[in-house]
Amino acid sequence: MPPIKVKSAEVATSPKRQHKADARVAAAPHAAAKPRAQTRIQREKQDVILEAALDVFSMHGFRGATIDQIAEVAGMSKPNLLYYFPRKEEIHRRLMSALLETWLAPLRAMNADGDPFPEIRSYIRRKLEMARDYPRESRLFANEMLQGAPRIIEMIEVDLKNLVDEKAKVLLGWMDQGKLARTDPYHLIFSIWATTQHYADFDVQVRAVLGPGRGGEGRFEDAARYLEGLFLHGLTPRGIGKGA
């Protein structure tokens, strides 16, 4: 844990009078002075900025994204943007921490008391919906991974790992009960992540390969149907008279 940058608003008594807003904007653990609630404008502008930043970071990664570009998409000047988020890293950090919560929710929802197939099927559906409805978030995450996850490695190693360990046990439990094929629970989870996120991260490719005919909105329905069949029975043909 290197003594990295200065955390915003960590010291109550700033020696120099900062006209920056970060002292009240950032979530301080226990600000000594008066935190002074956020104004309406602060909330709105921060949302606009984060929205724009999501666009840019998810396409170009952290280094490839520029503050100017984010500011332009957000419809404001660079110094104005920097008034709300004094550092580029800060914007990215906010996006990432918000993302991780949303991202893990579907796996968290997998219920040990349920039956494996409804649970897994529902998990796949949820992940697929997220790929459809939040493709930028998926790409933001993918971009971070491709770079070696420098800014979220800790959360991956702790929070994510713990969650997956827990759910792997659930899966193993189902396998012990003979309700689920005995296989590697970790790689099972990986395969669900991979197959669903693919439709967000490689969207261009999916569209291009499916062509104008089948590359429309229906592709997510098709994907859901296919994946259900794959995870349920694999590719082995089963008698005639297929069930609906």
Partner DNA sequence: CAGAATTTTGACCAGTTGGAAAAATGTTAG
Partner DNA sequence: CTAACATTTTTCCAACTGGTCAAAATTCTG
Determine the interface stretch with a copy of itself among 85-93, 94-102, 103-111, 227-235 (rule: CB under 8 A).
Answer: 227-235
Tokens 């920056």 belong to residue: 20
The answer to whether residue 106 forms part of the interface with a copy of itself (CB under 8 A) is no
Q: What one-character-per-residue DSSP string does 34-95 give?
A: ---PPPHHHHHHHHHHHHHHHHHHHHHHHHH--HHHHHHHHTS-HHHHHHH-SSHHHHHHHH
SS3 of residue 216 by DSSP:
coil
Q: Tokens at residue 7, please?
A: 């955390």
Question: CB-wise, 39 or 205, nearer to DNA?
Answer: 39
Residues 26-85 that bind DNA (CB under 7 A): 28, 36, 39-42, 45, 65-69, 76-80, 82-83
Q: Tokens at residue 185, please?
A: 């629970």
Task: Say which entry of a copy of itself, DNA, none residue 32 contacts (CB below 5 to 8 A, set by partner kind).
Answer: none
Question: CB-wise, 18 or 218, nearer to a copy of itself?
Answer: 218
Residues 60-79 that bind a copy of itself (CB under 8 A): 60-65
Q: Using the 8-state DSSP alphabet, how is residue 230 labeled?
A: H
Distance CA 91, CA 86 (A): 9
Question: CB-wise, 25 or 192, nearer to DNA?
Answer: 25
The answer to whether residue 243 forms part of the interface with a copy of itself (CB under 8 A) is yes
Determine the interface stretch with a copy of itself among 8-16, 27-35, 79-87, 202-210 (rule: CB under 8 A).
Answer: 202-210
Distance CA 108, CA 115 (A): 15
CB 239 within 8 A of CB 231: no
Among 26, 73, 142, 172, binds a copy of itself (CB under 8 A): 142
Task: Say which entry of a copy of itself, DNA, none residue 74 contacts (CB below 5 to 8 A, set by partner kind).
Answer: none
Distance CA 99, CA 105 (A): 10
Residues 187-216 that bind DNA (CB under 7 A): none
Question: CB-wise, 31 or 149, nearer to a copy of itself?
Answer: 149
